[in-house]
């Protein structure tokens, strides 16, 4: 209930707290005329905020989710050790092993040395505070001896120490992934292989009763996608697609913005990929030991078209349709999964695409510039994806609504639209700005200055390396793997299961098919296939 004191101040739980009338007048007493004018403006602004208080309250995001409870749990709730096999121990496979608590000692050495001169480099601290997942790496499989040896070394580092630390029992090495899946001492597998192997490995793992964590993209074709879904469901395994963006704090805030309908009717979402470096365009370094003696080339090829041994194709396989899903499957999937997480858009009704190989004339077959327009007819929504691998200007995801727009990355900003009906009066009264955000969410700061490679910087900018839990900086891949492991042990849900994986795979395939056929494609949900317009 509102009351009025002798100074005519409005007192209410809903009234913004600040300095009182007496304090203002005291500070202005030497300038009585100007003082009265300034206080009048101050008082007017205070009353305008009070008039719009109910509206302003709706713009407040949930404080409870800003600092989630600390995730550290040195004594896992389930005392049973989970036995994991890793298929593919190249760069990404090693990173996922790291996220489970198994790191090559050289990284601890390097980070420790870096921290001596760079106080912002807290990578060792972040790594050692990760939750103990009570996991044992019992088996690894890789067709390149250099990757195999690196995975073997990481599997022994059970105490997260440097080169001089105490080591544990090494994992068993398998030359073929099917032999690994047949082992009795494996409960679950992590798959981090080239795209063209994902489908068959997931199906075989599911049929062997192993729980699966697989890197994106899910599949190379539409048909494979539904074969995977069938195997996962029939074998009742716990499945997680490797999208650590599901753990990012700002994405949960974005879901809240959508749930509160703060943007009004959303008709357009734009998302982008801009990279401008050799590694950003998948022109990775070729290891000097890459030769037919150290690489099982025929096993690498699998069902891909036959081709003579090529060290370039082995390390830069993302550049060829034979093994890769290109920009749509490799990079757009990051962007789409965020949008699906925030808005639950599902599979689009139609897609058109254009682009080409405009910069990297290196024999690749996948484009380095791509534009895809997706139509979601039931939502009255268009999703526009734009990508170039020859410019690094950063462009964030933007959600355009009738009352405002949201810019989403590692941080989040919501702006009112100057023509908004919902915010019109508050804009006119100067309570809500149009030239600056009316809502801003920035997760905790610091800790990523030590990131040096262009690829790491690209992912850090999007929040794909770290987020925050209980005020602590945490590796997002660790949280995503932990979620999968918790589900295996306790039956808790995963955030990127088979439904989300299928949605993403089909969306990416529609863009690829539209581009490669230079035709508009439509999704037939009854036939579970695309049709050409």
Judged against a pLDDT cut of 90, whether residue 465 lies above it is answered with no
Same-domain pairing of 460 and 423: yes
Q: What are phi and psi of 264, to 5 degrees?
A: 80, -155
Instruction: Write out the two tokens for 283.
Output: 């022109």
Judged against a pLDDT cut of 60, whether residue 52 lies above it is answered with yes
Last residue of a domain, one of 57, 73, 90: 57
Least Cα distance to 282 among 353, 359, 385 occurs for 359
Res. 470 pLDDT band, cuts 50 70 90: low
Same-domain pairing of 209 and 272: no
Same-domain pairing of 431 and 452: yes
Same-domain pairing of 414 and 377: yes
Mean pLDDT of 75-87: 79
Which domain range does residue 42 map to?
3-57
Count of domains observed in the chain: 3
Query: Tell me, what's the pLDDT at 43?
Result: 61
Query: Tell me, what's the pLDDT at 475?
Result: 86
Q: How far is CA 376 from CA 251, 268, 381, 382, 468, in A?
A: 21, 10, 5, 6, 33
Q: What's the rounded Cα separation, in Å, for the pair 55 and 65?
A: 21
CATH of the domain at 93: 3.40.50.720
CATH of the domain at 256: 3.30.360.10
Which SS3 state, helix, strand or coil, does residue 282 take? coil
Res. 466 pLDDT band, cuts 50 70 90: low
Query: Tell me, what's the pLDDT at 442?
Result: 80
Query: Tell me, what's the pLDDT at 44?
Result: 61
Judged against a pLDDT cut of 70, whether residue 35 lies above it is answered with no
Query: Tell me, what's the pLDDT at 431?
Result: 86
Query: Tell me, what's the pLDDT at 69?
Result: 38
Question: What share of the chain in percent tops pLDDT 70?
Answer: 83
Query: Tell me, what's the pLDDT at 313?
Result: 98
Last residue of a domain, one of 40, 57, 74: 57
Question: What share of the chain in percent tops pLDDT 90?
Answer: 71
Judged against a pLDDT cut of 80, whether residue 46 lies above it is answered with no
Same-domain pairing of 404 and 269: yes
Q: Which single residue is written with the structure tokens 């890459």? A: 290
Instruction: Choose the most confident range, by mean pLDDT, from 73-77, 249-253, 376-380.
Output: 376-380
Same-domain pairing of 30 and 127: no
Same-domain pairing of 12 and 91: no
Query: Tell me, what's the pLDDT at 8?
Result: 38
Q: What is the mean pLDDT of the chain?
A: 87
Query: Tell me, what's the pLDDT at 26?
Result: 47
């Amino acid at each position: 209930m509102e009351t009025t004191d002798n100074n005519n101040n409005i007192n209410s739980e809903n009234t913004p707290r600040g300095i009182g009338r007496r304090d203002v007048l005291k500070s202005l007493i030497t300038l009585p005329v100007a003082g009265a004018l300034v206080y009048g403006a101050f008082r007017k602004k205070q009353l305008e905020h009070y008039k719009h208080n109910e509206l302003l309250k709706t713009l407040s995001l949930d404080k409870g989710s800003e600092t989630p409870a600390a995730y550290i749990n040195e004594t896992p709730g389930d005392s049973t050790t989970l036995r994991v096999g890793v298929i593919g121990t190249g760069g990404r496979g090693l990173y996922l092993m790291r996220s489970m608590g198994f790191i090559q000692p050289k990284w601890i050495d390097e980070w420790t040395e870096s921290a001596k001169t760079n106080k912002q480099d807290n990578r060792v601290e972040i790594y050692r505070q990760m939750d103990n997942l009570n996991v044992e790496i019992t088996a690894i499989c890789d067709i390149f001896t250099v990757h195999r040896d690196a995975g073997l070394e990481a599997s022994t580092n059970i105490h997260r120490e440097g080169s001089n630390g105490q080591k544990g029992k090494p994992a068993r090495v398998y030359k073929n992934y099917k032999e690994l899946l047949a082992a009795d001492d494996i409960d679950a597998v992590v798959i981090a292989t080239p795209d063209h192997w994902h489908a068959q490995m997931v199906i075989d793992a599911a049929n062997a009763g192993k729980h699966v964590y697989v890197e994106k993209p899910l599949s190379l074709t539409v048909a494979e996608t539904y074969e995977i879904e069938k195997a996962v469901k029939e074998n009742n395994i716990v499945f997680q697609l490797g999208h650590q963006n599901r753990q990012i704090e700002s994405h949960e805030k974005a879901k809240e913005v959508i749930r509160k309908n703060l943007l009004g009717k959303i008709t357009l979402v734009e998302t982008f990929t801009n990279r401008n470096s050799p590694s950003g365009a998948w022109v990775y370094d070729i290891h000097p030991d890459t030769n037919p003696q150290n690489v099982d080339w025929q096993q690498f090829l699998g069902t891909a078209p036959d081709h003579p041994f090529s060290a370039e194709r082995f390390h830069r396989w993302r550049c060829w349709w034979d093994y890769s899903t290109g920009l749509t499957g490799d990079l757009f999937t990051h962007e789409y999964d965020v949008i699906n997480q925030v808005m639950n858009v599902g599979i689009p009704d139609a897609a058109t695409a254009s682009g080409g190989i405009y910069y990297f004339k290196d024999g690749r077959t996948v484009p380095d510039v791509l534009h895809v327009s997706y139509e979601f007819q039931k939502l009255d929504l268009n999703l526009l994806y734009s990508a170039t691998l020859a410019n690094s200007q950063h462009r964030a995801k933007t959600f355009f609504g009738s009352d405002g727009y949201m810019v989403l990355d590692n941080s989040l900003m919501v702006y009112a639209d100057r023509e908004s009906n919902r915010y019109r009066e508050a804009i006119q009264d100067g309570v809500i700005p149009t030239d600056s955000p009316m809502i801003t969410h920035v997760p905790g700061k610091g800790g990523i200055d030590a990131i040096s490679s262009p690829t790491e910087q690209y992912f850090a900018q999007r929040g794909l390396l770290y987020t925050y839990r209980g005020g602590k900086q945490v590796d997002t891949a660790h949280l995503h793997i932990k979620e999968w492991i918790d589900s295996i042990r306790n039956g808790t849900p995963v955030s990127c299961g088979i439904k989300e994986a299928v949605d993403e795979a089909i969306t990416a395939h529609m863009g690829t098919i539209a581009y490669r056929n230079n035709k508009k494609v439509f999704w037939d949900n009854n036939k579970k296939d695309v049709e050409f317009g």
